[in-house]
Amino acid sequence: MKKIKIGIIGLGTVGTGVVKTISNFWDSIEITKIAVRDINKPRNIEGLDKSLLTDKAEEIVDNPDIDIVVEVMGGVNPALDLIKKAINNGKHIVTANKEILAKHGEELFLLAKEKNRVILYEAAIAGGIPIIMPVKTILRANKINKIAAILNGTTNYILTKMDKDGASYDEVLKEAQELGYAEADPTGDVEGFDAAYKIVTLATIAFNKRIKINGIYREGITKITDKDIKLAKELGYKIKLIASAKIDEAGRADVRVHPMLVPEGHVLANINNVTNAIMLTGKPVGEIMFTGPGAGEFPTASSVAGDILALSAEEAENVEIGETENRYYISLNTTDNPGSIGVIGTICGNHKINLTDILQKGTNPDSTAEVVVITGLSKEKNVKEALKEMKKSSAIVKINNLIRLMN
C-alpha cells in the first residue's frame, strides 16, 4: 500500500494533537518531517522520533517526497510564503490558519486552482465542528442568508467562567492559555480578531460571495466587566461574543463580531466554556445548528486529520481479471467423434480446472456436437489458457461462449 507522505509545519497545541492522532490511528499516513521554531524544546509526545524535527520549514515545502503540507504554525509570516511555495511545488495544503484565510484566502485559492492543488481548512473555523465541508457539500443547494455564531472558544470560556464561577478575567484567560485554547497572542481572541477571521471565511462560502475582512465591524470582550455580566443576568440575559453575518437581496453583507446580550432561553446563551455553535438560516433547509468543541488539541486535530485523510483517500488496487477466481460456463462445438469430450476434460485438467457438469445436446446438421461444460472455481488466466489450447485442438471446432457464474 502506498503511504501518503505529509510534512507538518508547527508542533504546538494543534500540531501535537495531529501527530498523536496520525501516529496512533492511521498507518496509511507517514509523517516525513515536522518543522518547529526550536528543535530543542521539550515535546509532549511519547516516543517522538526527534530526527523528524527541523527548524527549516523549507525542508518540508521543497521536499519532493511530501504530498501534503499541514500548516499549523499560525500567523501570516512566514506561513503565507511557505504555503505558496508548497502549492507551487505541487503539494496539497491542510491548514488551521483562519488569519491567513481571511486575509489572503482569495490569492491562495486562485493559486491552488491554477496549480490543480487543494487547500482544506476544516480546523480553521470552529475547531472540531465539521462546518466547512457540510456548507460546501450537502447544504450547497441552499440559499443561506444568515449566520449567528459563537466562534471563539477562549472568549466563550472566559465569559462562562466569569458568569458561573465569578472568576476574574485575567485568571480565566491564563487558564484558557494553559488549556491550549488561546492564540499565541491572545489579543487575537479577546479583541475579536479571531472570530472575525472565522466569520469572514464562513460567510464567504455560505453566501458564495467574497466578504472582505477590512469591511467588517469588530469589537472584543475586554470592556465587559463582572458587573455587566451580573446586571445582564438580573435582566434575563447572558453576554456572549457573537459573530454574525446577514446578506440582503441586493447582495449587501452585514458581517460583525461584538458582545451581545442574548436572552437566557436562546440556544446560543446556553453554549458554554470552549464549545462553539453556528446557526445557519437558509432556504430550503430553514434553521440548522452545529455545535461542538471550538478549540483545543484533540478537537482541532480531529478536523486537521479529517482533511488529511480526505486528501489521501486511498485508491483501491484493482485485481487483474486474470487473477480472479470464478466458475465458468463454456459452450463449444466439438467434432462428433469418440473422445472429443475427453479432450475437453484433458485440456481442463492440464490447466487445473475441475469440471462439475457436462452437457451434450445431440449433434448438429453439420456433424458437430454442441457441448456445454461448467467448471469448478478456477483462475481466469488458467481458463483463458485452456481455451487457447482448445482452439488449437482438432477435436474442438468452435468455442461459442464463456460466461462466468455468479457464486
Residues at the site binding ligand HSE, with contacts judged by CB under 6 A: 127, 152-154, 181-183, 189, 194, 294-295
The answer to whether the CB of 92 falls within 8 A of the CB of 86 is: no
The nearer residue to ligand HSE, 295 or 332, going by C-beta atoms, is: 295
Rounded CA separation 174/404 (Å): 70
Q: Is 330 left (phi over 0), alpha (psi -120 to 50) or beta?
A: beta
Q: How far is the CB of 14 from ligand HSE (least distance, A)?
A: 9
Residue 260 phi/psi, 5-degree rounding, is -140, 150
Binding to ligand NAP by residue 183, rule CB under 6 A? yes
What does 152 interact with, of ligand HSE, ligand NAP, none (CB < 5 to 8 A by kind)? ligand HSE
Residue whose C-alpha is closest to residue 241's, from 367, 173, 322, 154: 154
What does 35 interact with, of ligand HSE, ligand NAP, none (CB < 5 to 8 A by kind)? ligand NAP
Of 60, 73, 159, 278, the one binding ligand NAP (CB under 6 A) is: 73
Binding to ligand NAP by residue 101, rule CB under 6 A? no
Rounded CA separation 189/186 (Å): 5
The nearer residue to ligand HSE, 152 or 302, going by C-beta atoms, is: 152
Binding to ligand NAP by residue 46, rule CB under 6 A? no
Binding to ligand NAP by residue 283, rule CB under 6 A? no
Residue whose C-alpha is closest to residue 307's, from 1, 150, 97: 97
Residue whose C-alpha is closest to residue 101's, from 85, 80, 86, 87: 80
Q: Is 126 left (phi over 0), alpha (psi -120 to 50) or beta?
A: left
Binding to ligand NAP by residue 131, rule CB under 6 A? no
The nearer residue to ligand NAP, 152 or 333, going by C-beta atoms, is: 152
Rg of the chain, C-alpha, whole Å: 32
Q: How far is the CB of 11 from ligand NAP (least distance, A)?
A: 4
Residue with cell 466439438: 334
Binding to ligand NAP by residue 306, rule CB under 6 A? no
The nearer residue to ligand HSE, 32 or 156, going by C-beta atoms, is: 156
Binding to ligand NAP by residue 189, rule CB under 6 A? no
Residue with cell 519532493: 64
Rounded CA separation 148/199 (Å): 9
Of 78, 236, 322, 349, the one binding ligand NAP (CB under 6 A) is: 78
47: amino acid identity, one letter: G
Binding to ligand NAP by residue 178, rule CB under 6 A? no
The answer to whether the CB of 356 falls within 8 A of the CB of 329 is: no
- How far apart, in Å, are the Cα atoms of 194 and each of 229, 293, 295? 22, 16, 12
Catalytic residue among 161, 198, 238, 240: 198
Site for ligand NAP in 104-123 (CB under 6 A): 123
The nearer residue to ligand NAP, 38 or 46, going by C-beta atoms, is: 38
Residue whose C-alpha is closest to residue 259's, from 165, 188, 190, 204: 190
Concerning whether 198 is annotated as a catalytic residue, the answer is: yes
Binding to ligand NAP by residue 193, rule CB under 6 A? no
Q: How far is the CB of 37 from ligand NAP (least distance, A)?
A: 4
**What DSSP letter does each residue of 43-83 carry, written as one string?**
-S-TT--GGGEES-THHHHT-TT-SEEEE-S-SSTTHHHHH
Which of the stretches 178-186, 203-211, 225-233, 236-244 binds ligand NAP when contact is defined by CB under 6 A? 178-186
**Number of residues located near ligand NAP, criterion CB under 6 A:** 30
What the block records as the C-alpha cell of 149 is 455564531
Binding to ligand NAP by residue 6, rule CB under 6 A? no
* Residue 169: other Cβ atoms inside 10 A: 17
Binding to ligand NAP by residue 384, rule CB under 6 A? no
Of 11, 19, 216, 262, the one binding ligand NAP (CB under 6 A) is: 11
Binding site for ligand NAP (CB under 6 A): 9-15, 35-38, 41, 57, 72-74, 78, 96-98, 123-124, 127, 180-181, 183-184, 295-296, 300
Residues with active-site annotation: 198
